Structure 1
Amino acid sequence: MTEVLQHPGYEEEKLQRVAEQLPCRLGQVGMLLSLMGQPHHYSYPSIFIYGHRASGKSHVMQILLQELELPHAAVSCVECVSVALLFERVLLSLFGRAAASLLPRSPSLADFVRVYRQQRSRSPASQTRYIVMEKAELLRDADVNLLPALLRLQELVEDNVTVVLLSEIVWDKFRPNTGCFEPLLLHFPDYSKGELQQILFRDRHPSYSAELYSSYINLLLGVFYSVCRDLRELRHLAALNFSKFCEPLTQGKAKESDTHKLWRNIEPHLKKAMQTVYLREVSSLQWEQMQQIQEEAGALRGLSAHTHIELPYYSKFLLIAAYLASYNPARTDKRFFLKHHGKIKKTKFQKKNEKTSNHLLGPKPFPLDRLLAVFYSVVDSRVAPTASIFSQISSLVTLQLLTQVSHDDQLDAPKYKCAVSFDFICAISRTVNFDIVGYLYDFLS
């Protein structure tokens, strides 16, 4: 922190504000300030900042540029779906609307450089201009000349401009095959558990003591740290469940020192929240309103975000097909999914040793071809077996709604198991008007 506050060229008051707003990132802040240098000095042409999601890359750059009042253009490569939008956004932020209007309808890189040079000569800057590009990995799909040009834009436009690329992937996977100017690399590591405690503690509720909120954060991280290191998701979870954690205190049923009672009250809600990590469907305010409505009704059903989950349309049918393949015997597929099969009775298909419900025995693995066969039978439209369908299966595995039980290096087709509950799949089925109970072997009369 001393290194940051003593940096020459900037007012101490501004640097103090920067340090207060960027906890646990002072090393990276000090490095960036040293790269920015004095106001009239040329800065490094391009900087590549990489790190996992929610590691503070965008936040640090935003605070530095705003507090130090540096001229900059913040560009999201997700929003700028074309090169024309990207060029327009940069010129608009750095030189104003009049400069952006000088671009032709379909500008080339040469057009952008020409307009930039004209505006630079008309309004020279005493400070380095910064172009910050978020989700910069999307630039790899743009024109092959764009990324090499951005990395050496300072040379092309003959101006003191620095391009800062923010990415979640390392430079070795980012570097184009054609070769380019090598940027300066800066890594933002994941927050440690202690740093997450420090950051989350800054959001503490003023109505409760610091000791209570600290114990709540420790409890929350003890549950979620092994599965989630994303600061934004952890903040969301902390805001989501704090009112339930304090419920025994507001009702006078416990004191702040009764940690065991507080834990017993919050435990079932944390289990429900565990099922929604990285699947955020509601805001913190909506969650609180839902809790109030449920309590007034005298029931807690519906609190689980499972009943409010939103998946792509075909992903829902893939999940339904996976559930049917997991809990129905394979020999019943023809009777369930072929037309003109006649009536089906459970007793005709039950084996002598088959006395236990399949739902009690748990999900059984099934091959990929069976999943697709059931999927094409239950979906209410004709779907071509495109790469999109297979990518949605991979997404369901990533979200832990499906479990792959065979290795990728096996010669046989991969096998999966459905990892969701009966209530979950019923809620999903209702959203697509599919009667899943009528297709389940255990529920045949």
Structure 2
Amino acid sequence: MDKDGASLLPRRTTRSLASASSSVPDAKVNSLGPLTIDDLLVGGDPISLDGLISSFPGRSSQIHQILHLLGPLNSPILPLFVYGGSSTGKTSIVLQLFRHLNRPLVYSSCRTCYNQRILFESILSQLLLHRRNASNGYSNAKRCERPSDFVNCLRDALTNVINNLKEKSETQRGIGNMVYLVFDNFQLVREWDKSSTILPLLFNLHDLLKMPEVGLIFISSTSPDTFYSNMGYVEPIPVYFPDYTDGDIRQILLRNQPNQNLYSSFLKVALSHFCRMTRQVDELSTALKPLYDKYCEPLKNKEVIPTGDMKRKLFTLLVETREETKQKGNHNNLKHFEEIGELDFHMSTSAKYLLISAFLASRNPATLDASLFDAKGGSDNRKRKRKASEKVLEKKETLEEELLMKGPGSFPLERLLAIFQCLVSVAEEPYDEEEQTHDGLGVQGGNGGLMNNVLLQLSSLCNANFIYKGRSCPIEGAMRYRSTISEDLALKVARSLKFPLSKYLYRR
């Protein structure tokens, strides 16, 4: 669930009691009454549409779009695919919309339901109004592992729920006879075992069930293009949640502040700098808190309304604090790079080659990979194809220079591994003996051992801030990386390996 709206969500008994009953005394659990159809509703006081929109700044268009797609009471809908970056309000808004509409839903997170059996049984237990307790051995309503069994059991369970809703709608208006299945953190399904089977099954549920009273909603942090294949199912309707703008973030951060005038003056100074690094509200809130405390130190009364002179004094103090922090950071970085002189004693050979590969991927245009990294692991000036025209060469050189002027670029994991495989295939320095004793990713040739634990090495380099791990692209759905080391450090690492770095580095 997205953290920026988590505090707004009331607690649902069907979720909490079904999963945490093992920590509650048996007598208390057994004293709870049986679940009813009302437990499929999002609890809490009714919320108006205006209240919902005001609770989520910058999300008015998405709220109205989902409301339009859900339609009036008892309206059949096509599957929805709600996607966007993390901490953009996707889950919170969907659940609060159902609280506003007062419609039943079955919510399952693919983070806690981390394989298909747990997901199947969680959905069935909720539909069958089953509560785990000591009397049933804290077991689910049904044990279900096979997709075919799940579809049959799901159809029966949904039929019972829909019939109950129809009976209830005769005496209680406003609920209707529709039930919705919500799959949160749906991008994680791609990492499951048998994901090639479970993904088509879930996308095909709309056609398999053929029940107009059932709606499907998928919530993902990656775009629908990362899932689709030629399987013949009805494509869900996409609803995109973009990153918050600076103005949206400002409104969100101001919501729970006791002195909004003071905090607003602080945000005018600090927010723009932090938004360059991240736009996730939870990360920004955590990062800004100690800085705001420092900003308020000269004030005896934090409820005061800041004047122009006061703002200038607080701004001066904040700038001085920032300069002190920057100087400390530069000192630490200098000390860090001085310690790199001992690189040969504490960095493995494979990590060095991975570091060089990331440096080349950031500095070289991707269009030159084919010429710089051929099957023999380097450019061969004797191999020439048809000579390009001067105009084409000038255009290509201009584009490559523009890429260089932008600084280190980002690159996907696939490109990094391809460059890494090329470099280790022509390595002159033998790899560590300890790396020969492990099985792992390998390449054909004498240096296959260098590919061992390459993903673990990449994680270590990211933790050491040699490689920056960015956010996944909402369009491509893939994680991107960027090298943070200087050319001097890259040359130093290359010399320790006796590796000709200049042969692979593009120069104007």
Question: Which residues in structure 2 correspond to 1:114-263 (within 5 Å)?
Answer: 114-124=152-162, 125=165, 126-140=176-190, 141=192, 142-157=194-209, 158-204=211-257, 206=258, 208=259, 210-250=260-300, 255-256=310-311, 258-263=313-318
Indicate if the aligned counterparts of 2:108 and 2:183 stay in contact, CA closer than 8 A.
yes
Structure 1 equivalent of residue 50 of structure 2: 16
The answer to whether the Cα contact below 8 Å between 1:72 and 1:94 also exists between their aligned partners in 2 is no
Tell me by how many angstroms 1:36 deviates: 0.9
Amino acid across the alignment from 1:148:
P
- The residue that corresponds to 2:26 in the other structure is none
Q: TM-score, normalised by structure 1?
A: 0.59
Q: Cα offset for 1:383?
A: 6.3
Aligned alpha-carbon RMSD (Å): 4.2
Decide whether aligned partners of structure 1 residues 245 and 190 sit closer, same or farther in structure 2, where only a CA change above 3 A counts: same
Query: CA, structure 1 residues 168+375, in 2 after alignment: closer, same or farther (shift >3 Å)?
Result: farther
Which runs of 5 or more residues in structure 1 are unaligned?
Answer: 1-10, 276-303, 307-319, 334-366, 405-414, 420-445
Change (3 A) 1:36 1:251: closer
3-state SS of paired residue (1:144): helix
Q: Which residue of 1 aligns with 2:3?
A: none
Residue 51 of structure 1 is aligned with which of 62, 65, 84? 84
* Aligned equivalents of 1:15, 1:167: Cα separation in 2: 24
In 2: Cα distance, 1:38 partner to 1:273 partner: 59
Contact 2:127-2:157 at 8 Å conserved across structures: no
1:25 to 36, 48, 59: 59
Mapped contact 2:204–2:234 kept (Cα < 8 A):
yes
Check if 1:41 corresponds to 2:96. no
Question: Structure 1 residues 53, 328: CA separation in 2 closer, same or farther (over 3 Å shift)?
Answer: same
Q: How far apart are the structure 1 equivalents of 2:346 and 2:205?
A: 65
The 3 A distance-change label for structure 1 pair 59 and 397 is farther
Q: Distance in 2 between matches of 1:59 and 1:274?
A: 38
What whole-Å deviation, never above 9, does each CA across 1:185-229 have from its counterpart, x for those lacking one? 11111111122112212132x1x3x33211212222222111112
CA separation of 1:122/1:174 partners in 2, compared to 1, >3 Å: closer, same or farther? closer
In 1: Cα distance, 2:328 partner to 2:186 partner: 32
Structure 1 177/43 Cα, relative in aligned 2: closer, same or farther at 3 Å? closer
Shift in Å, 1:136: 1.1
Q: Tell me the equivalent position of 2:457.
A: 393
Relative contact order: is structure 1 or structure 2 higher (C-alpha 8 Å, sep ≥ 6)?
2
Flag the 1:323–1:120 CA change in 2: closer, same or farther, 3 A. farther
CA distance 1:96–1:201, change in 2 (3 Å) = same
Contact 2:243 2:279 in 1 (8 A): yes
C-alpha deviation, 1:123, in angstroms: 2.8
CA distance in 1, matches of 2:456, 2:319: 37
Determine the C-alpha separation between the residues in 1 that align with 2:181 and 2:100: 16
Distance 2:215 2:236 in 1: 10
Deviation (angstroms), 1:64: 1.3
Give CA deviations for 1:219-261 in whole Å, capped at 9, x if unaligned.
2222211111212211222234322221121399x94552333
For residues 63-78 of structure 1, what are the structure 2 equivalents within 5 Å?
63-78=96-111
Relative to 1, partners in 2 of residues 1:110 and 1:194: Cα closer, same or farther, differing over 3 Å? same
Q: Structure 1 residues 273 and 64, CA, compared in 2 at 3 Å: closer, same or farther?
A: farther
CA shift for structure 1 position 110: 2.3
How many Å separate the matches in 1 of 2:250 and 2:102? 30
Quote the Cα distance in structure 1 between the aligned partners of 2:324 and 2:127: 48
- What is the number of equivalent residue pairs in this alignment? 313
- Equivalent residues of 1:132, 1:164 under 8 A apart: yes
* Residue deviations 1:28-76 (CA, integer Å, cap 9, x gap): 00010011111122122x1112212222211211221233322112222
Matches of 1:165 and 1:88, distance apart in 2? 18
Q: % of aligned pairs identical? A: 23
Partner SS state of residue 166, structure 1 = strand
Q: Which amino acid aligns with 1:197?
A: R
Cα distance change on mapping 1:184 and 1:331 into 2, 3 Å: closer
Matches within 5 A, 1:339-354: none
| Distance change (3 Å), C-alpha of 1:384 and 1:156 | closer
CA–CA distance in structure 2, aligned partners of residues 274 and 72 of structure 1: 50
Contact 2:83 2:220 in 1 (8 A): yes
Classify 1:85/1:331 alpha carbon distance in 2 versus 1 (closer, same or farther; 3 Å): closer
Counterparts in 2 of 1:102 and 1:230: CA distance versus 1, 3 Å: closer
CA offsets 1:98-119 (integer angstroms, 9 cap, x no match):
7994523x43222222222222
- 8 Å CA contact retained: 2:294, 2:318: no
Moved more, 229-238 or 22-31: 229-238
TM-score, normalization by structure 2 = 0.52
Aligned letter for 1:267?
R
Q: 1:127-148, CA deviations, whole angstroms, 9 ceiling, x for partnerless residues?
A: 4322222221222344434223
Task: Give the 3 Å change call, closer, same or farther, for CA 81–70 of structure 1 in structure 2.
Answer: same
1:102 and 1:115 in contact (8 A); partners too: no
Alpha-carbon distance change, 198 to 69 in structure 1, aligned in 2, over 3 angstroms: same
Task: Give the one of 314, 317, 322 matched to 1:267.
Answer: 322
Please say if 1:402 is aligned against 2:466: yes
Structure 2 unaligned residues grouped into runs of 5+: 1-44, 133-138, 166-175, 303-308, 348-422, 442-450, 469-481, 487-508
- CA spacing shift, 1:240–1:272, aligned 2, 3 Å: farther
